[in-house]
Structure 1
Amino acid sequence: MTKQHVHESHGQIVKRLKRAEGHLRRVIEMFDDGRSCLDLAQQLHAVEKAISEAKRTLIHDHVDNCLDVAANGGSKPAKTVLAEFKAISRYL
């Protein structure tokens, strides 16, 4: 059994990702409709930006909550906290 790990921001992140998912489906339809490459590139950029923002929110929330708690009196050793920060910061 995995430990459930939920933050307040997770609901908003999921909403953002669901919007991006719907947007991506519409972009695929645009390909089927033969829309221009410029239109397609613009819409793909918007989907990419939405997903990127969801990822950034998740990482910032993790740093603000999990790592801050761990670094300021949590049960994790400082080396572990630093290693976790380095690992997650690669995704920024």
Structure 2
Amino acid sequence: MYQLNVKKFGLALGLTGALLYLGCILVMATMGREGTVLFFNSLLHGLDTSTIIRMDIPLWEAGLGLAQTFIIAWLIGACVAGFYNVTVKAK
């Protein structure tokens, strides 16, 4: 069976997570508070996010969140690829 490249899979998942984070920033920047709440309420199956949405996020905090999201997603991707490689039978 084919083995996954752990670093490349981690990078792919990390970049995907960062892209989703940037999408969230874009939603918040363009839709305003009410649009953001409506978007995330519908995305989360009607969960009321109005009490947890914070719109006054400083740029440094958004950058830190972007970096943290990338790192966490990279680690998850590396773990998935590593676990997959351990369980796949070599030819």
Q: TM-score, normalised by structure 1?
A: 0.38
